[in-house]
Amino acid sequence: MENGLFFFKNVVVIGAPDAPAFVAAGNGKTVVSHCAILGGKTGLVVQDNAELHLLATIVANGVDKEVQVAATAKYVAAANAYHPGRFTVGASDYAAGALAEFQAATAQDQDSVLAAPKHDDAYQFSEPVVRFLDRDQVAGPDRTAALPLSPSTPAPPAPAAASVATASVATASVAATSAAAPPVLAAAAPPAPVPPQSVPLPAATDDGWCKYDFENSNPWNLVYPEPEKMADGNRLPATAELSTEQAVSGQRSLRLHAAFPAQERETWMIKLFSQRLGEDGAKVIRVRFKMFGGNCGTPFTPRFRDARGEIFQGKAAKIDWQGWRDLDWDLTATPPAIRGGDKNRVLDAPFQFVVDFHPRITATAKTFTVFIDDLEFNVGNRP
Ligand SMILES: [Ca+2]
Ligand SMILES: [Ca+2]
């Protein structure tokens, strides 16, 4: 086995704080693709003479560092996400934030990012996004790969070690850490529903603006067509994913796209929901974002939905422009129409920001596409 090839995909490794989480050793070749290596004293160790290929993988939250590569090891890496991102290669150390120096020294990790990973209780990751094989995708395990994990509360004593990999060339330590109880390997039970997680707002500027720039994360990615299904019973294809086709800030924006079946309906409602945003007490007084439109005449309406189901409806508008446009809603100057929920007129956090689009389907227009960048909330009462 020492000279074999070892291929890991969609594997989650949770390291113990006193040992490396993942070790590549011996003379074999180890390929780690779309995995998450969390914790460990050092997250990932490539020992002398070993060869490791690391792709679209998350390595985060080691005690000492994330990656240690021996001087004689071969390290080939691209499109990974590290947090905070501390590296050692041979005798050289790279502190958190020094990814550029590490890239220059190794000529590796050219499309990698430094960003904190986000996942739910079943280790389904939603962030960060990396560019891999010409496609923006969430680093780490494929979300469609159903990991047989269920949330761990209330957990029976966790199994001592779920055998992820125990070959001499690559060993993965999955001992439970005291910091976070690992999920339970579920034998045959269907995955338990995970309660919705809320996303904290980014740090606010002095004048109260919290900004999402759609570079490495996408908080506005839930698309609900109405009706949900086409006449053939399939869900209407509609996506809200990061794209490099257009951008105001940085390299990326959010691309909302839907494709309609011909001659089925004249219009379709496309509801674009954000994740649940904000924390208790956050009071949004204004929202703005940039939208790239194609002068398609599509009516759209912004609204908030708060934690208690209350809807704060804004004014309808129409995509009657070509290119980027600033959109701005001051909730004080233009008060929303209130309906549903607890009707206490308080936008209880966590809230979701929503835009409802009503694209018209014609003989020549069977798709709908807009780009969105720089979604900002002005939070009036942030400490
Ligand atoms: Ca951007
Ligand atoms: Ca409310």
CA 373 to ligand 1 center in whole angstroms: 5
In this predicted structure, what is the pLDDT of residue 246? 96
Q: How far is the CA of 321 from the centre of ligand 1 (A)?
A: 20
212 CA to middle of ligand 1, Å? 8
CA of 347 to the centre of ligand 2 (A): 5
Q: Which residue has the tokens 């707002």?
A: 201
DSSP H or E stretch at residue 105: helix 99-106
Which residues share a beta bridge with 357? 270, 300
User: pLDDT of 355-379, one tens digit each?
Assistant: 999 999 988 889 999 999 999 999 8
Cα 250 to ligand 1 centre (Å): 5
- pLDDT greater than 60 at residue 383: no
Q: Determine contact, residues 259/237, Cβ cutoff 8 Å.
A: yes
CA of 372 to the centre of ligand 1 (A): 8
* C-alpha 313 – ligand 2 centre gap (Å): 13
Domain ranges across the chain = 5-185, 198-379
Report pLDDT for 337: 96
308 C-alpha to ligand 2 centroid (Å): 6
Q: CA nearest 9: which of 144, 199, 152, 131?
A: 144
**pLDDT for 351 beyond 70:** yes
pLDDT top residue among 332 and 177: 332
**Separation of CA 307 and ligand 2 centre (Å):** 7
Centroid of ligand 2 to alpha carbon of 309 (angstroms): 7
Establish how many alpha carbons lie within 13 A of residue 310's alpha carbon, considering only the half-sphere containing its beta carbon: 17
Question: What b/e string do you get for 33-42 counting C-beta neighbours within 10 Å, with b at 16 or more?
Answer: bbbbbbbbbb
Interatomic CA distance for residues 285 and 331, integer angstroms: 5
Give which of 29, 230, 218 is closest to 139, Cα–Cα.
218
Q: What distance in angstroms lies between residue 249's CA and the mean position of ligand 1's atoms?
A: 4
Residue 245 phi, psi (nearest 5): -65, -35
pTM of the model: 0.56
How far CA 64 is from CA of 54, 85, 87, 118, in Å, comes to: 20, 10, 10, 20
* pLDDT > 70 in the chain, percent: 85
- Residue 169 clears pLDDT 50, i.e. is over it: no
Distance from residue 229's CA to the centre of ligand 1 (Å): 31
Residue 363 has φ and ψ, to the nearest 5°, of -60, -30
* Contact predicate 373/245, CB 8 Å: no
- Distance from the first to the final alpha carbon of the chain: 57
Confidence of residue 381 (pLDDT cuts 50, 70, 90): low
Thinking of the domain 198-379, which architecture would CATH place it in? Sandwich (2.60)
Residue 375 CA to ligand 1 center (angstroms) comes to: 9
Per-residue confidence band for 28, with pLDDT thresholds at 50, 70 and 90: confident
Q: Which ligand is nearest to the CA of 341?
A: 2
Q: Is 261 helix (H, G, I), strand (E, B) or coil?
A: coil
The ligand whose atoms approach the alpha carbon of 376 most closely is 1
| Contact (CB, 8 A) for 61 and 13 | no
